[in-house]
């Protein structure tokens, strides 16, 4: 199949915008809990989370919006938001919309140079940041680049939002409502800058229609997971389009949302909040699987875990085919008590669904989590598509695919295999870059830059990024992610980058996982040592070679990895080798590790 469209189930009034989601809940279900905020101190036996009702959220968003108006922020002005994932992020986001303005998210880990580019390009007149640390970054950026249009910086901490609430007390409800209703469905809601694996970030113009129509259609398509009895905990950066869309969708559906700004607190927060669904990138699911396996192996129960994992996968595959043999049912039930239930309890005990995006999950992991009682709804999208183009749903799922288009969206496969997208999800264009319109769109179709295929039922499968395809010296096309994902799935491996463009053969740069390494060394009766020391161990190289051999079995001989090097330090966001959404910056890796590449290819390597 080359093209598949799904008609929209619902369309919105052209006079509406995203703030209507809040107003409808405040009017119809004023006591509905939209958010939960962790208490600074909880009495033993009581909940560790304080509820925030729909009417409380509405009133506070309006109070802050009035403060923005009183401070001279004009309709349509761009306001930057720079913070870790927390309740105030969502509050400020809606306050900006209530004030008739446009929000510009900035990753809280951004450097002054990165902040300067986004603030400068967007023309932001104000920034609302989490703390003094972020304020320093923003003010440094503005000073260094002469960004005189940035007039205000407010803090979420240290009573910064109270200053806005106080400032807006004299702004009338009528003035606020005039501002709010001046924003229509086609108005600009946000400019999200791509985290970018290459070049300067581009600002994606997402409208209220993108968020409103996509949220309404997603609600109707995913009623089992997204409803007013559901709850989730946000830990992905809200500056990323995936978390941002789910944040708006949750408000639309009346989902109870909690936030955890530090992933180190994720497990205790999951256990105390007990969400019904979570959202994560594939690396998080890999970590959950690997940490569960390592914990079992360290406790002498590795054989039980591996048998349980194989059973979970076998049960999931059989369920998908529609028939589970009695023996497999019994075995699955035994492992549910021994293994699966404990993993679910670690995630709070109530979680039934997980939404996965930001990269391919892998069929084996999808079946594993389904088999332990957590259905992973893998989807696909980009910043340019307000996150989801396609998604698997509880009723319509094929594990190993990224699902069918959401209602209102369509997918087409170009002659060269590129995935093209159309529909309510697609941005209106890149901010300040009309010159990119022709290369970005083919008529109504947005060029995603990804390679994939559609099956006979309209389910999409992702092969890899078009620009990342390696062409060897002999002309062989190689999709690096097909090898990388398999190798990185092992607990010992943190990152894997397959290389070989214009080279005689394929090779790889591999980093070790510093969290998994100590346990691996202990199980192999090897003394404790640093990652740098372990990278030179023959036993480590032998283990990695085994992983590579297994991955090579899934591709042709010409596509297989022939050589590899273990890099002594990990590829991280801090090192400049990962984007905030944990994607590899290939060009940066190749630049910084040219010596290792030269060592692999010798004199044949390019200068």
Structure token digits, residue 102: 């446009």
Q: Do domains 18-183+233-253 and 280-349+352-466 have the same CATH topology?
A: yes
Inter-residue contact 269 to 260 (CB < 8 Å): yes
d(CA 452, CA 460): 7
pLDDT at 531 over 80: yes
Distance in angstroms (rounded) separating the CA atoms of residues 432 and 546? 49
* pLDDT score at 329: 97
State mean pLDDT over 364-379. Answer: 96
Structure tokens given for 468:
């990342």
Q: Closest by alpha carbon to 248, among 200, 297, 207?
A: 207
Give, rounded to a whole angstrom, the gap between the first and last alpha carbons of the chain. Answer: 43
C-alpha 177, offset from chain centre: 34
Tokens standing for 193?
């800058």
Tokens 């469209």, residue? 5
The continuous run of DSSP H or E covering 471 comes out as strand 470-471
Residue 267 belongs to what H/E stretch?
helix 266-273
**Residue 297: predicted pLDDT:** 87
pLDDT digits (tens, 9 = 90+) for 249-296: 999 999 999 999 988 888 899 999 999 999 998 888 888 898 899 889
The residue ranges of every structural domain in the chain are: 18-183+233-253, 280-349+352-466, 469-604
For range 234-247, the mean pLDDT: 95
Cα separation, 282 vs 577, in Å, equals 18
Conformational region of residue 260, where left means phi above 0, alpha means psi within -120 to 50, and beta covers everything else = beta
Spatial separation of the C-alpha atoms in residues 409 and 419, rounded to whole Å: 13
54 and 35 Cβ atoms separated by less than 8 Å: no
Predicted pLDDT of residue 564: 95
Mean pLDDT throughout 126-140? Answer: 97
Pairwise CA distance, residues 72 & 143, whole Å = 21
pLDDT above 50 (res 391): yes
Task: Render pLDDT for 329-339 as a digit per residue (tens, 0 to 9).
Answer: 999 999 999 99
pLDDT of residue 605: 42
Q: State both tokens at 418.
A: 């590129």
Residue pointed to by tokens 């400068």: 120
324 within 8 A of 318, measured Cβ to Cβ: yes
Name the residue with tokens 């060009």: 587
Return the sign of the alpha-carbon dihedral for residues 558, 563, 566, 572. Answer: negative
Q: Give me the CATH topology for the region 280-349+352-466.
A: Rossmann fold (3.40.50)
Reference 379, options 421, 430, 351; nearest CA is: 421
String of DSSP letters for 151-212: -EEEESSTTHHHHHHHHTTTS-HHHHHHHHHT--TTSEEEEEE---SSSS--EEEEEHHHHH
Question: DSSP letter string over 548-599?
Answer: HHHHHTTS-GGGSEEEEEEESS---TTTTSB-TT--B-HHHHHHHTHHHHHH
| CATH, domain 18-183+233-253, list 3.30.1370.60, 3.40.50.1220, 3.40.50.12780, 3.40.47.10 | 3.40.50.12780
Q: Mean pLDDT of all residues in the chain? A: 94
Residue 489's pLDDT band, with cuts at 50, 70 and 90, is confident
3-class secondary-structure state, position 438:
helix
The pLDDT confidence band at residue 474, using thresholds 50, 70 and 90, is confident
Tens-digit pLDDT profile for residues 148-192 = 999 999 999 988 999 999 999 999 999 999 999 999 999 999 999
- In sequence order, what are the beta bridge partners of 410? 5, 422
Please say whether the beta carbons of 377 and 355 come within 8 A. Answer: yes
DSSP class of residue 533? Answer: H
Q: Would strands 126-129 and 102-106 be described as parallel, antiparallel, or unpaired?
A: unpaired
DSSP states of 303-325: HHHHHHHHHHHHHHHHHHHT---
Mean pLDDT, residues 234-243 taken together: 94
Q: What is the CATH number of domain 469-604?
A: 3.30.300.30
The beta-strand segments (E) located in 49-101 are: 49-53, 78-82
52/590 Cα distance (integer angstroms): 48
Q: How far apart are CA 409 and CA 214, in angstroms?
A: 9
Instruction: Give kind and range of the element (H or E) at residue 391.
Output: strand 387-391
What pLDDT, in 10s, does the model give residues 313-323?
999 999 999 99
Among 452-461, 520-529, 576-585, where is mean pLDDT lowest? 576-585
Q: What is the mean pLDDT of residues 297-303?
A: 89
Residue 71 above 90 pLDDT? yes
Answer yes or no: is pLDDT of 1 > 90.
no
Whether 87 shows a pLDDT value over 70: the answer reads yes
Pairing of strands 561-567, 506-512: parallel
Burial of 151 (0-12, 13-18, 19+ CB in 10 A): middle
The strand pairing partners of 128, in sequence order, are: 81, 154
pLDDT of residue 196: 57
Average pLDDT value for residue range 362-369? 92
pLDDT of residue 215: 98
For the packed helices 54-70 and 87-98, what is the interaxial angle rounded to 10 degrees?
A: 60
pLDDT(44) > 50: yes
Q: How far apart are CA 101 and CA 75, in angstroms?
A: 5
- Which string of DSSP letters, residue by residue, matches 279-308? EE-HHHHHHHHHHHHHHHHHTT-HHHHHHH
- In Å, how far from its chain's centre is CA 527? 37
Residue 47 has pLDDT above 90, yes or no: no
Residue 606: what pLDDT?
A: 42
pLDDT confidence of residue 263: 82
**Strand 203-207 vs strand 126-129: parallel, antiparallel, or unpaired?**
unpaired
Give the CA distances from residue 578 to residues 12, 191, 371, 467, 571, in Å, rounded to whole numbers and listed in that order.
Answer: 38, 22, 31, 17, 7
- Asked if 513 and 526 count as a contact pair (C-beta separation under 8 A), the reply is no
Report the candidate in 308, 297, 375, 293 with the shortest Cα–Cα distance to residue 339. Answer: 308
Position 199 confidence tier, pLDDT thresholds 50, 70, 90? low
pLDDT value of residue 603:
41
By CB neighbour count within 10 A (0-12 exposed, 13-18 middle, 19+ buried), where does 130 fall? Answer: buried
Stretch 355-372: mean pLDDT: 91
Strand order across the 375-382 sheet = 277-280, 353-356, 375-382, 387-391, 404-405
- What backbone torsions phi and psi does residue 150 show, to the nearest 5 degrees? -80, 100
- Could you tell me the sign of the dihedral formed by the alpha carbons of 7, 390, 191, 53, in that order? positive
Q: Are 487 and 548 in contact (CB under 8 A)?
A: yes
Half-sphere CA count of 456, side-chain side, radius 13 A: 0
């Amino acid at each position: 199949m080359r093209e598949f469209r799904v008609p929209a189930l619902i369309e919105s009034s052209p006079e509406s915008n995203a703030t209507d989601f809040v107003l409808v809940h405040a009017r119809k279900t004023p006591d509905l809990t939209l958010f939960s905020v962790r208490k600074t101190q909880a009495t033993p036996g009581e909940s560790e989370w304080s509820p925030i009702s729909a009417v409380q959220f509405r009133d506070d968003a309006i109070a802050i919006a009035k403060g923005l108006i009183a401070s001279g922020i004009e309709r349509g002005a761009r306001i930057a938001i720079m913070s870790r994932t927390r309740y105030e992020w969502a509050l400020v986001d809606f306050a900006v919309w209530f004030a008739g303005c446009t929000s510009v998210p900035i990753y809280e880990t951004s450097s002054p140079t990165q902040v300067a580019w986004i603030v400068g390009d967007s023309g932001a007149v104000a920034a609302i940041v989490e703390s003094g640390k972020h304020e320093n970054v923003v003010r440094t950026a503005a000073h260094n680049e002469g960004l005189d249009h940035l007039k205000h910086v407010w803090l979420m901490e240290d009573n910064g939002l109270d200053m806005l609430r106080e400032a807006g007390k004299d702004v009338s409800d009528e003035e606020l409502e005039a501002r709010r209703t001046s924003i229509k469905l086609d108005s600009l809601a946000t400019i999200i800058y791509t985290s970018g694996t290459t070049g300067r970030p581009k600002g994606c113009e997402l409208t209220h229609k993108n968020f409103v129509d996509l949220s309404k259609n997603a609600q109707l398509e995913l009623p089992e997971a997204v409803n007013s009895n559901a709850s989730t905990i946000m830990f992905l950066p809200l500056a990323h389009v995936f978390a941002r869309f789910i944040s708006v969708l949750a408000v639309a559906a009346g989902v109870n949302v909690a936030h955890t700004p530090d992933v180190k607190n994720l497990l205790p927060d999951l256990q105390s909040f007990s969400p019904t669904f979570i959202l994560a990138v594939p690396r998080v699911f890999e970590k959950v699987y690997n940490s569960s396996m390592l914990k079992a192996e360290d406790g002498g129960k590795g054989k039980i875990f591996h048998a349980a994992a194989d059973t979970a996968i076998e049960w999931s595959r059989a369920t998908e085919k529609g028939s589970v043999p009695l023996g497999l049912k019994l075995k699955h039930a035994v492992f549910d008590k021994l293994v699966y239930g404990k993993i679910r309890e670690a995630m709070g005990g109530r979680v039934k669904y997980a939404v996965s995006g930001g990269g391919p999950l892998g069929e084996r992991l999808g079946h594993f989590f389904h088999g332990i009682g957590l259905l992973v709804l893998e989807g696909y999208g980009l910043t340019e598509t307000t996150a989801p183009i396609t998604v698997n749903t509880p009723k319509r799922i094929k594990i190993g695919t990224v699902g069918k288009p959401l209602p209102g969206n369509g997918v087409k496969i170009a002659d060269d295999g590129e995935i093209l997208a159309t529909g309510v999800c697609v941005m209106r264009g890149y901010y300040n870059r009309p010159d990119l319109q022709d290369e970005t769109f083919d008529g109504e179709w947005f060029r995603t830059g990804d390679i994939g295929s559609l099956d006979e039922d309209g389910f999409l499968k992702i092969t890899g990024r078009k620009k990342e395809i390696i062409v060897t010296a002999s002309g062989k096309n190689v999709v690096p992610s097909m090898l990388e994902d398999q190798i990185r799935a092992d607990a010992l491996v943190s990152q894997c980058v397959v290389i070989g463009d214009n080279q005689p053969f394929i090779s790889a740069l591999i980093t070790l996982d510093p969290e998994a390494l100590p346990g691996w060394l202990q199980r192999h009766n090897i003394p404790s040592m640093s990652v740098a020391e372990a990278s030179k161990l023959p036993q480590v190289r032998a283990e990695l070679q085994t992983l590579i051999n297994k991955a090579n079995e899934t591709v042709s001989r010409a596509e297989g990895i022939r050589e590899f090097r273990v890099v002594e330090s990990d590829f991280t966001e801090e090192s400049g080798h990962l984007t905030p959404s944990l994607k590899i910056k290939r060009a940066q890796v190749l630049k910084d590790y040219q010596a290792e590449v030269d060592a692999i290819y010798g004199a044949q390597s390019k200068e």
